[in-house]
Amino acid sequence: MNNAVDLPPELLRPLVAAGRQTPAPAGSILARAEAFGASFERLAGDRVNPLSLVIEDVVSPVHAVVGGRPTLLFGTNSYLGMNFRPECIRAAQAAAQRYGVGSTASRVAAGNHALHRSLEKEVAAFHGAAEAIVFSTGFMTNLGVISSLAREGDAIFLDAHCHASIIDACRLSGAHVFQFRHNDPADLARLFAESSIPGANTIVVVEGVYSVWGDVGDLKGIVGVAKSHGAIVIVDEAHALGMYGRNGRGVAELQGVEADVDIITGTFSKSVGLIGGYAATNRPQLRQLRFMARPYLFTASLPPPIVAAAREAVRLIATDPQPRAMLWANAAKLHAGLCDIGLTPCAPPGPVGSIRMQGLAGGYQFWKAALDRGIYVNLLMPPATPAGEVLLRYSVSAAHTDEHIETALAVLRDVSAALKVA
Ligand code: PMP
């Protein structure tokens, strides 16, 4: 497959530089910024730009108004519908009344509320971990954890499909950074074989569910290789929290490798329906990790209403099996319907998935035609995708009904036929 031909070169810039000393790029900084902006204008012209779409109103986890039209959302991360759960809204309202709407400082200045500590204890208990550290976003969690642990002279091996927050954290650390082939323990073993850096100075970073294709990480294989070399293992469960594993703790729980994972990172912005992130660990040496992480030290903490709603959402995830059951039933239905149309998803059913498009122009046309018919999905392109792929990414929610899924499938069927995609 080569669908990279119509992508602006700026989007294909390698994410992990091959060496630390790279020659100065052509063009001034401002000229480069201008060219980058122009590439997006070329992309959408005066039509709707997928990167700056405005959602005019949101009325439920899966209903919005876009361009004046009622629109079904199949491209958010509200997997369990928690953003509209009455218990969470009530908790946020009560906390806003009682404590105000903002934290106004970092955790180490004046923003470390007792609510933050309660949430951390509850997240730690949920994961069966000794310690949990709450950050202001999932991005900052990865940035803080990885960049504070690794430094020059260390090595980081990361899966080729890892999220931008992990890639940026690796860059920031100053460590030697190498990507292994996606979900390939043998390629990770090759990196260890070729590395002169001891395992104890190496971090392996993977995800439970990779949101690019929606596939599940081979944590058993990868953690096995990493631990045989004595490396530290970090697993980002952003897209798995609440949906995978007997207790909803993620793919590490599902595959029985939690004891070998040194740090789990997660986010409150997806199944938890809010904003925020956390790191959970059982390693006594990592108890003070929060004070090593600059994105913990030097940014404002989560506002009290968000913390209160997160506590409620974590409690619901742990105690209410219904949303999770709905999510999986919906994921299976949507996946089967897509296969029927001939739009083969990149991975088996899951909360998030994607379909390969032929180039950016084709992907844009498909995305826009679906939106015009009231179905919102995501258009993914580099640098969010590997190897220049253009993907139509969809997500499923516990809040979708059979009727919503049938409506979406009917639209996607029509669009596929009109554009001769399937
Ligand atoms: N990790 C992964 C795997 C993600 O997909 C994302 C968000 N897309 C993040 C981290 C960042 O999470 P947040 O939105 O909470 O910053």
CATH of the domain at 197: 3.40.640.10
Q: Which of 303, 319, 335 is the last residue of a domain?
A: 319
Note the pLDDT of residue 420.
Answer: 84
Parent domain of 160: 85-319
Q: Is residue 12 part of a domain?
A: no
User: Where does a domain end: 269, 289, 319?
Assistant: 319
Whether residues 240 and 362 share a domain: the answer is no
Instruction: Verify whether ligand 1 is closer than 6 Å to residue 183 (CB atom).
Output: no
Q: Is residue 244 domain-shared with residue 290, that is, in the same domain? A: yes
Same domain, 164 and 133: yes
pLDDT at 110: 93
163 lines ligand 1 (CB under 6 A): yes
CB of 295 within 6 A of ligand 1: the answer is no
Q: Separation of 205 CA from ligand 1 center, angstroms? A: 14
SS3 (DSSP) at 287: coil
Number of domains into which the chain is organized: 2
With respect to residue 11, please indicate whether it lies within any of the assigned structural domains.
Answer: no
**Does residue 219 lie in a domain region?**
yes
Hey, which bits of 370-422 come out as E strands? 375-376, 378-380, 390-395
Binding site membership of 378 for ligand 1 (Cβ less than 6 Å): no
- In degrees and rounded to multiples of 5, residue 419 shows phi and psi of -95, 0
Whether pTM > 0.85 for this model: the answer is yes
138 Cα to the center of ligand 1, angstroms: 5
Residue 24 lies in a domain: no
In 19-107, beta strands by DSSP E: 57-60, 63-66, 69-73
Q: Partners of 235 in the beta sheet?
A: 206, 264
- Prior bond of 383 cis (ω within 30°): yes
For residue 55, the CA-to-ligand 1 centroid distance in Å is 20
Q: Is 114 exposed, middle or buried (0-12, 13-18, 19+ CB in 10 A)?
A: exposed
In a domain, 8, yes or no: no
400 is catalytic: no
239 carries an active-site annotation: yes
Q: Tell me if 270 CB under 6 Å of ligand 1.
A: no
Does residue 176 contact residue 396 with C-beta atoms inside 8 Å? no
pLDDT at 11: 53
pLDDT score at 48: 74
Pairs from 62-71 (Cβ < 8 Å, separation ≥ 24)? 62/397, 62/399, 62/400, 62/404, 64/376, 66/371, 66/376, 67/371, 69/374, 70/374, 71/371, 71/374, 71/375, 71/376
How many CB atoms within 10 Å of residue 200? Answer: 10
Q: Is the CB of 237 under 6 A from ligand 1?
A: no
User: What CATH number corresponds to the domain at position 336?
Assistant: 3.90.1150.10
Query: Residues of the chain whose pLDDT is less than 70?
Result: 1-24, 40, 43-46
For residues 106 and 246, membership in a common domain is answered with yes
Helix (H, G, I), strand (E, B) or coil at 64: strand
Active site residue 127: no
Output phi, psi for 356, to 5 deg: -75, 135
Residue 147 CA to ligand 1 centre (angstroms): 16
Task: Exactly one of 113, 270, 335, 400 is catalytic; name it.
Answer: 270
Are 154 and 189 in the same domain? Answer: yes
Element (H, E) at 156: strand 155-159
59 and 96 co-located in one domain: no
Q: How far is the CA of 238 from the centre of ligand 1 (A)?
A: 6
- For residue 386, what pLDDT is reported? 82
* Beta-strand pair 131-135/277-281: antiparallel
| Secondary structure letter of residue 47 according to DSSP | S
